[in-house]
Structure formats: structure tokens, C-alpha cells
Amino acid sequence: MITGELKSKVDRIWDTMWSGGISNPLSVIEQLTYLLFIKRLDELHTLEERKAARTKKPIEEPIFEEDQDHLRWSRFKETAPEQMFETVKDEVFPFIKTLGAKGDDDGGSTYTHHMKDALFMMPTPRVLANVVDQLDDIDMADRDTKGDLYEYMLGKIASAGQNGQFRTSRHIIQLMVDMTAPTPKDVICDPACGTAGFLVAASEYLVDHHSDAIYKDEKSRRRFNERTFHGYDFDNTMLRIGSMNMLLHGVENPDIRYRDSLAQADDADAEKYSLILANPPFAGSLDYESTAKDLLQVVRTKKTELLFLALFLRLLQTGGRAAVIVPDGVLFSSSKAHKQVRKMLVENQQLDAVISMPSGVFKPYSGVSTAILLFTKTNSGGTDDVWFYDMHADGFSLDDKRTPQPEKTDLPDILKRWGKRKAEKKRARTDQSFLVPKAEIAENGYDLSINRYKEVEYEEVEYASPKAILGRLAALDEQIAAGRADLEGLLG
């Protein structure tokens, strides 16, 4: 999390663009994304120049040719505002749109593919020059600084997107990543990636816990940068933002591409991934005509949350695991499709855990009650006991303000108990977490709502008998009458 001077700098950049006429938060993010990308290209080219100077060899595939030197950030930032504006609008933006044709390298990565639709929206030379100066003043050499800066900017998007999209809080994402504990061997996917928050958190986990393995040689580095992370979305703006988010967190070329996950069946992706992390949009209903037929064969429904669960099972390898967020209705709704999906998870796969979250977790975007499902694809059962946890607090107030309350959080307890959940058999149903046998879940129609199994302790309260209460009322009446008589006497 960024604080102090860096936070103030980012706020000033945001205010500059806002006062300059770019009032849509997503548009602000997009324009800053493009500028950060242009700055990044110059940094990469500079690294290649230094390498060439050390080795006394020319750059094999330069990002900028000799006649394009004026397109580099370090060059145009020194020019007058009007000249800078003309250069960026008429030359730099067309340049980044054509970079993808150079091949699959730093200059022709997934980012440049999504940049093809970039629109230059800076209103005036003054605004552009001001923003460039302020961005240039921020030292983003450190991976964490770049990532935190971008995360902070994304946090300024304070309204839900279309189709049920909204950002998942970073601490909830972190909890899900920590619970699934990615390894360098994992192939990770988010089929509704948005700004790529889950993929970013997974990459950070791998860097923090397995840096020796992912950076040990060129083959390992290439696997981490190009073949570990996969994300789909059908919002081009989100694809551009998500791609840059990954780049600023140190992943050079993830597989982030345009796809309506529920409408397209791609056999190449079937059973491809070993870990799925997702918070898919809860858009209500879809038209049958727009839905992949193989998903409808698993569960005949128009409900997107159920179709996404079917999709996750199709994408996962046998033995693959998933941590996904679902609306509460998935856990207890009585429709045939809901029951079918829950039975499939319990009987055919290995359902590991259901973590019930309070309804304020996604405010101000949404007040819907949600839960985290953790399961493993086996196609042969394996569910013995399901671990339930009733999350009461996540470290923030549960109103629209979401004020930090670090002393009120269940997240460390969830992670601790998850690692030792076999011992939870000793826990009573009145506790915050406990295990429920599969047989009991089946007896309850595969209801996965924690309230179905949680026992509530009621405190016995003793009240006075009606006769005693009437006696006290009579005494009070006498006091009132005496007081009234005294008052009448004083009034003569």
C-alpha cells in the first residue's frame, strides 16, 4: 500500500487529469496505462543499450530504431508542451499500435496486442506535459512500488462496471491465493480476469515463496513470464488495464486475451489449468443461444454463476484446484440446476471448503452476500468432510466507506485453521468453523449454507413473574399519583 508523499503525487496526477476534462475514472486509468507503457518501453530499450555497451554487440531487435529515437519517453519529455503533444498523439500512439507486428518479444507482447485499440484522450498540451512531468518524478524502479501505485489507482474506480463486474478487494484475493499456495509448476487461470488482480497476487506469491525456482535459468523465467498466467475477459478496457497491471508487477508476457468465457468453447483450453482463481460476474441470466453448448450439457441453466462453475470444471486438469467467489444463492437455492451443481461438487469432485463472507465485503460496489468455494477436480469423488467457516470481519468496516479496522479481521484465523483443518473435527457446531461430513450434506439436499449446520447458542434470560411486574407497575402508579397531588398543592 502506498502512503505519504507517493500517494500525494498520484493524487495530484489524478486531479490534473480530472481538472483537465477526463472525468471518467476508467478513462483516467487507461490514459495513465498508456503513458506508463510508453515509459516502460523506454526503460526496456535503455536496458538493452546498456547490455549492448557491456557486450560490445549491437541490439538484436531494438524496440526503437535509430529514426524513432524521438519517440522515447526520455526524449519527448524534454520538449515543449505543444511539440510533446504532437509527438505523442501523431507518432507515439500509432507506434505502440504497430509494435505487435514485431514478434513475440518485449516489444511484441500481449500488452501491445491490446494497445492496438488505444485512443489518445489527453485534452491539451498543458495537461499532457503536466502529467508526464509528474509521472517522471515518481521512481518506479522497484517492482512493489510500481504494483502498489497501479493498485492504488485501480482502487479509485468507485463504481461497479457493466455485466456485474466489480473489483475484488486485494486482501480477499490474497487470502484465496494463500489458501491455494501456488507452485512454480502451476498453470493458473482466471476466466473473468478484469484488472488481473488474482493473477497479480499469484505472481507475487510465487516471487515471494519460490523465487529460486522461477528465476533459476532462462527456461524457468520464460515459463513464469509467458506460460504460467492466463486470463480472459470480454471488456477490452479491462484487458488493457489488466495487461499493464501484470507488467508493472513484473510479469512480462502473460496470456491475457479477449474471450467471452461462457459463449466460446475452446477444446485447446479443456483440462489445461492446474489452478483457477476467480470472482466471475453475477450477471443474472444469459440467453441459451449465446452460451457454450458443452456447458449447458453439464448444467441446463441461464444463471451465469452456475455456468461459470461448470466452466471451471471443464478448464481444470484432474487434480487441479480452484478458489472462487460465488453469490450466496449458489449455496442454498432450491432450483434443480442449483442442486445439480452442488451435488456434482460434493459427489463427483472434492469439495474442500465453504467460507461464508459478510455482505459488506464488496461495498461500495455491491452489497450481495457471497462465499468462497474451494474444491479439487477429481471426477471420482473424494469429499469426506467439508470445512465451513463463518467470516464475521475482514479488517474493514462493512459499510460503504470500508474504513480500515485491522483489529477486526478473521483472515489470519481462516488461514491458520485451513492449514490444520483435519483437527477441526473436534470443533463444536457453535464455533466459528467446523467440519461437516459428506453424508450429512447429502441428507440436507446438498445445502451448503453454513446456517444449515451451525448451531446457535441462546442465553437463558430470567424474567420476573407477571404478578411481580404488575406489582411494580402499581407502585409506580402510586408514586405518580402522589407526585401529581404535590404539584396540584403547589399550584393552589
Residue 244 is part of a domain; what is its CATH number? 3.40.50.150
The answer to whether residue 482 sits within a structural domain is no
Same domain assignment for residues 219 and 337: yes
Is residue 260 domain-shared with residue 127, that is, in the same domain?
no
The beta-strand segments (E) located in 219-272 are: 229-233, 255-258
Select from 255, 271, 341, 350 the least CA-distant residue to 305: 341
* Number of residues written out for the chain: 492
Q: Which residue has the cell 483440462?
A: 271
110 in a structural domain: yes
pLDDT bracket for residue 112 (50, 70, 90): low
Q: In this predicted structure, what is the pLDDT of residue 158?
A: 47
- Alpha-carbon gap, residue 25 to 17, rounded angstroms: 10
Q: Are residues 257 and 127 in the same domain?
A: no
pLDDT digits (tens, 9 = 90+) for 41-97: 888 889 889 988 998 888 877 889 889 999 999 999 999 999 999 999 999 988 887
Query: pLDDT value at position 482?
Result: 92
Distance CA 206, CA 184 (A): 7
Asked if residue 341 and residue 294 are part of one domain, the reply reads yes
Cell for 316? 481444470
Neighbours of 405 (CB within 10 A): 13
Per the domain annotation, does 180 fall within a domain? yes
Instruction: Please state which of the ranges 97-101, 229-233, 381-385, 471-475 shows the lowest mean pLDDT.
Output: 97-101
pLDDT in tens, 190-245: 999 988 989 999 999 999 999 999 988 999 999 999 999 999 988 887 888 888 78
Whether 163 shows a pLDDT value over 80: the answer reads no
For 70, other C-beta atoms within 10 Å of its C-beta total 13
Mean pLDDT check: name the lowest of 93-102, 112-121, 191-200, 252-261.
Answer: 93-102
- The predicted pLDDT at position 357 comes to 95
Question: Which of 147, 179, 199 represents a domain boundary (last residue)?
Answer: 147
Give the span between the Cα atoms of 195 and 76, in whole angstroms.
29
User: What is the mean predicted confidence (pLDDT) over 449-463?
Assistant: 86
CA count, 13 A, side-chain hemisphere, 255: 16
Residues 137 and 215 in one domain: no
In a domain, 39, yes or no: yes
CA distance to 13, 17, 79, 157, 159, per residue, from 26 (Å): 14, 12, 28, 7, 10
Task: State mean pLDDT over 392-406.
Answer: 87
| Residue 107 pLDDT greater than 60, yes or no | no
Indicate if 211 and 323 belong to the same structural domain.
Answer: yes
Regarding pTM above 0.75, the answer is yes
What pLDDT is attached to residue 101? Answer: 45
Comparing C-alpha atoms, which of 223, 161, 228, 233 is closest to residue 196?
233
- The reply to whether 209 and 117 lie within a common domain is no
- Tens-digit pLDDT profile for residues 309-331: 999 999 999 999 999 999 999 99
Contacts of 192 (CB under 8 A, 6+ apart): 232, 233, 261, 278, 279, 280, 281, 308
Q: Of 383, 366, 179, whose CA–CA distance to 277 is shortest?
A: 179
Cα–Cα distance measured from residue 360 to residue 366, given in angstroms and rounded to the nearest whole number? 8
Task: Say how many domains are in the chain.
Answer: 2
Same domain as 335, residue 246 = yes
Q: What is the pLDDT of the chain when averaged over all its residues?
A: 86
CATH value at residue 69: 1.20.1260.30
Could you give the percent of the chain with pLDDT greater than 90?
A: 50
* Contact partners, residue 222, CB within 8 Å, separation at least 6: none
Confidence of residue 265 (pLDDT cuts 50, 70, 90): low
Q: Is residue 92 part of a domain?
A: yes
In angstroms, the CA 206 to CA 196 distance is 16
User: Are the C-beta atoms of residues 231 and 183 closer than 8 Å to each other?
Assistant: no
Within-domain flag for 469? no
pLDDT at 446: 96
Between 165 and 123, whose confidence is greater? 123
In a domain, residue 116? The reply is yes
User: Which of 123, 147, 171 is the endpoint of a domain?
Assistant: 147
Find out whether 153 and 33 touch, Cβ atoms under 8 Å.
no
Looking at residue 250, its pLDDT comes to: 78
pLDDT over 90 (residue 384): yes
Q: In whole angstroms, what is the distance from residue 399 CA to residue 393 CA?
A: 12
Among positive and negative, which fits the CA dihedral 375, 376, 380, 386? negative
* Cα–Cα separations (whole angstroms), residue 282 to 257, 314, 330: 21, 19, 11
Same domain, 355 and 429: yes
Indicate the pLDDT class of residue 183, thresholds 50, 70 and 90.
very high
pLDDT classification of 164: cutoffs 50, 70, 90: very low
Closest CA to 447 of 344, 305, 330, 347: 330
What are the cell numbers at 348?
Answer: 463427483
Domain range for residue 212?
Answer: 162-453
Which band of pLDDT confidence, cut at 50, 70 and 90, is reported for residue 152? confident
Q: Which residues pair with 409 in a beta bridge?
A: 394
pLDDT of residue 182: 97
| pLDDT tens digits, one per residue of 326-365 | 999 999 999 999 999 999 999 999 999 999 999 888 877 6
Residues 268 and 393 in one domain: yes
DSSP label of 66: G
Say whether both 63 and 109 belong to one domain. Answer: yes
Are 284 and 392 found together in one domain?
yes
Residues 6+ apart with CB under 8 A from 19: none
Of 147, 179, 206, the residue that ends a domain is: 147
Higher-scoring residue by pLDDT: 402, 393: 393
pLDDT, position 105: 43
Residue carrying the nine cell digits 457493466: 162
The residue with greater pLDDT, 315 or 159, is 315
Is 296 within the bounds of a domain?
yes
**What distance in Å separates the CA atoms of residue 195 and residue 166, rounded to the nearest whole number?**
10
Position 261 scores a pLDDT of: 77
The percent of residues above 70 in pLDDT, for the chain, comes to 88
